Structure 1
Amino acid sequence: MQTLTLLAGGVAAGLLAGTATCTAAQGGLLMGLADGRRGADPALVCWFLAGRLASYTAAGALLGLLGSAVSLPPQARAVLLVVAGATVVGFAIRLMRRTRCSAPEPPPASRYQAPMLGAATILVPCGVTLGVEMLAVSSGSPLAGAAAMAGFVIGTAPAFALLGYVLRRVSRTRLARGAGLVAVGAGLWTAGTGLSLGGWLTVPAAPVASGPGAETVTVWATRDGYRPSVVTARAGVPVEVVFEVVDRGCTGTVTIGGRDVALPATVRLPPQPAGSLRYVCGMGMYAGFIHFS
């Protein structure tokens, strides 16, 4: 019963919440299959989805079996995001070069490359993916964990199939170069989220008062970021950060103090020195600051 419940829950999460976020975050890898003249061949899109299903199912089984020991730390995920973004940019450049080339048509991507790219999407998790991964961990069962992750892939499959169709139609026209530019943007965005998640791309924030001497602060997670984005607390004393959820999305998982926390939750911080502590959503898209003074 638990397995069927998690399978249905994964499908629902994929259809309702993961369609937009995962297609945006991982669609660049699918663009890597697009040929300058043929586009993304339907058979290759199927192989891409098969590879994605296999990697997610295997990851879900491992998460269910070994629990949080399998979960990658934020810094490791950040490196993978940067590498994945650079890979997407490389594919996009290849797409645009083939579009400009008037030489004989190059061979299509192989059936080996397509499932490998699909499997690689596990390395570019969207916010909803992280939530499903935590669900797989909490199941404590390899079968239930695999069911949750497989259901999520099934739920997002229609969006990826539609993206493959659009790529095929676009690549047959002179708009193929535009598709390549979109892929470049997706790759740079993915790499940027990795830099943000790793703390290597920061934007200084001016302190905003939220009550002098506060030892408990409240932050609201919305679809558009954390509100307020900067709060103040007293330095040198323990602080509780109460994260409340307004809308489910990327901000539903926060990385703070080098660990991932599923929201809503209360994060207890030991006494901090004067300065700012930065936290970020699980995808590295949205950040917030706690200013200690």
Structure 2
Amino acid sequence: MIKSTLETIEGVLSVDASTSSGEVIITHKKGLYPDLKRLNKALAEYGYTLGYKDDDSERSLIYFENGGIFYNPAKMKQFLGTSLVVLVLVAAFYLISGSGIASRVMVSSDTGPLVYLLFGLVAGASTCAALVGGVLLSLSKSWNKIYASQGSRLSAAVPHVMFYTGRLIAFALAGGVLALVGASITETITKATPVITVVVSSVMFVLGLQMLNVSWAKKIRIALPSGVGFRVSESSTDNKGKFGPLSIGAASLLLPCGMTLTAFIASITSGSFVVGAINMFSFAFGTMLSLSFISIVSIGFSNHKIWSNRFNTVAGIMVLFFAIFTLNAQLNAAGLPSLTDVSSFINPGSSTQAVEDGSKNVQVIKMVANRSGYSPTSFTVRSGVPVRWEVNNTGASGCTNVLIARDFFSGNFPLNPGVNVKEFTPQKPGTYKFSCWMGMVSGVIKVT
């Protein structure tokens, strides 16, 4: 009855109906997709109603069929939900990073452990989240496969506890040792930072793609030295190094962010092993309190397949975001083209012309550095004429308290509270970048 009725409808080639399974399979002519309302109208007198079976698991988010474009409702719902969560997290990251909260708890050689702890708390939720948080996110999926399989949340928490333990011990030891070595080590640290950052960000990018199940990325095996006994990449199946998370936590000391290095440099000036160790332990403990949000969410979802998959998707996207964000910052720091240039092109803003000081035959540019960044961020000067760059530091913190402009002068331009002066002479016309020393805040100097 159902078969014979539906086969009379235009476009229907054949019908296979089964009342026992409650399914009707309709084969139709190409380009003549049967209208569901018309089908149900034909069956109304028999008391039957048809509906589409929700079996789109093999279909992609957007697909083409019978000359039309369609979307998978289930995957679209998941996509929109994931996108909303990612947008909220990215917005929160930029909001906290640009809020200037760090300037209110700025560390120095005279501050105590409590201030270092508060400084770390802010760092873990902002600049340090880009590298340390990104690595922690990428490792969480691998850890969950190994430890959460034992069926208890306590076992799932083991690698995270080991990670933070290793991190706390490493920071305490490094803080004490560097305080004894003194400020002579500072230049070495700042020179090594860009290389470490680029390497770690590149690894994060691959790990993010692996978390999103990109086939070619999953073939890449990323491993720590054999002595650590722990492979990082998801494609590895032998992630059973007993002290792997502990070693990685200790190695996270090498993941640089502006606020971490600010804390180290301030702690170095203490000259005391005990003071340096306590201060950096407090800073690491503060970052742990912020970063533990990632661990708690990861552990909470570890034994729930659906939510675990969704968490891994969000985590993979965030790892990619943090990797791109950090690599982009390093391009700024190196004075190379970056994604920041796109936003500057779309919204160029106004360029501040240098003021000529006739008595000294010098051109002066003035800028303010505060908790929000730099203002203005674009200047125009003439080539061949000395420039006096006056920067009034009214609350710069973290990355923004040190300037670099590799095309005009070597080394760093540290910004102490008040007016700071840097002199240089631009030689060639062009547009050149300056940035904070981690590249997260940048601007341009146009030479005519």
SS of structure 1 residue aligned to 2:140: coil
Is the alpha carbon distance of 1:183 and 1:209 closer, same or farther for their aligned partners in structure 2, counting shifts above 3 Å?
A: closer
Whichever residue aligns with residue 182 of structure 2, its letter is: G
Which residue is 1:195 aligned to? 331
Structure 2 residue identity aligned to 1:85: S
The separation in 2 between residues aligned to 1:97 and 1:110, in whole angstroms, is 24
Structure 1 window deviating more from structure 2 (232-241 vs 85-94): it is 232-241
Unpaired segments of 5 or more residues in structure 1? none
1:158-214 per-position Cα deviation (integer Å, ceiling 9, x unaligned): 111111111233454230223222222222222222333233345388782334426
TM-aligned CA distance change 1:126 to 1:56, over 3 Å? same
2:438 is the counterpart of 1:283: yes
Is the contact made by 1:80 and 1:194 (CA closer than 8 Å) also made in structure 2?
A: no
**Alpha-carbon distance between aligned partners in 1 of 2:300 and 2:238, rounded to the nearest angstrom:** 18
Q: CA deviation at 1:26?
A: 1.7
Q: Does 1:259 align with 2:412?
A: yes
Residue of 155, 159, 165 corresponding to 2:286: 155
| SS state at 1:38 partner | helix
Equivalent residue letter for 2:196: L
The count of residues paired between Structure 1 and Structure 2 equals: 288
Note if contact 2:109-2:267 (Cα within 8 Å) is conserved in structure 1.
no
Distance 2:161 2:388 in 1: 50
1:6-35 CA distance string (max 9 Å, x none): 322211211245533322332011123223
Deviations 1:222-248 (A, max 9, x none): 444321001234543251332423464
**CA deviation after TM superposition for structure 1 residue 3, in Å:** 9.4
Structure 2 regions of 5+ residues with no counterpart? Answer: 1-107, 149-155, 219-235, 358-362
> Structure 2 residue aligned with 1:38, among 144, 152, 155?
144
SS, match of residue 139 in structure 1: coil
* Residue of structure 2 in register with 1:79 after alignment: 195
- Residue in structure 2 matched with residue 140 of structure 1 by the alignment: 271
Query: What CA distance in whole angstroms lies between the structure 2 residues aligned with 1:112 and 1:127?
Result: 29
Q: 2:179 aligns with which of 64, 71, 76?
A: 64
Q: Kindly state the Cα deviation for residue 249 of structure 1 after the two structures are TM-superposed.
A: 4.7
Separation in 1, partners of 2:255, 2:443: 22
Deviates more, 1:224-233 or 1:105-114: 105-114
Secondary structure in 2 aligned to 1:236?
Answer: coil
Out of 112, 119, 123, which is 1:6 matched to? Answer: 112
CA distance in 2, matches of 1:182, 1:148: 30
Q: Deviations over 1:77-130 (max 9, x none)?
A: 1121110111222333443449xx9xxx95666443313332333333222222
Segment drifting more, 274-283 vs 84-93: 274-283
CA RMSD of aligned residues (A): 3.4
Whether the 8 Å contact between 2:130 and 2:325 is mirrored in structure 1 is no
Equivalent pair of 2:138/2:316 in contact (CA under 8 Å): no
Say if 2:375 is the partner of 1:227.
yes
Give the Cα separation in 2 of the matches to 1:212 and 1:45: 55
For 2:437, the aligned partner's letter is: G
Residues of 2 paired with 1:161 and 1:17: CA distance? 13
Q: Does 1:237 align with 2:392?
A: no
Question: Is the CA contact (8 Å cut-off) linking 2:412 and 2:437 kept in structure 1?
Answer: no
Q: Give 1:277 shift.
A: 4.7
TM-score, structure 1 as length reference: 0.81
CA 1:4–1:248 in structure 2 vs 1: closer, same or farther (change >3 Å)? closer
How far the C-alpha of 1:36 sits from its partner, in A, is 5.8
Structure 1 vs Structure 2: percent identity of aligned residues? 25
Task: Note closer, same or farther for the CA distance 1:109–1:128 as it changes in structure 2 (3 Å cut).
Answer: farther
Match of 1:182 among 318, 322, 340: 318
Paired with 2:244 and 2:315, the residues of 1 have a C-alpha distance of 20
Paired with 1:255 and 1:164, the residues of 2 have a C-alpha distance of 35
Counterpart in the other structure of 2:356? 213
State TM-score, norm by structure 2: 0.56
Separation of aligned partners in 2, 1:67 and 1:198: 27
* TM superposition outliers: structure 1 runs of 4+ over 6 Å: 204-207
State the alpha-carbon separation in 1 of the partners of residues 301 and 356 from structure 2: 57
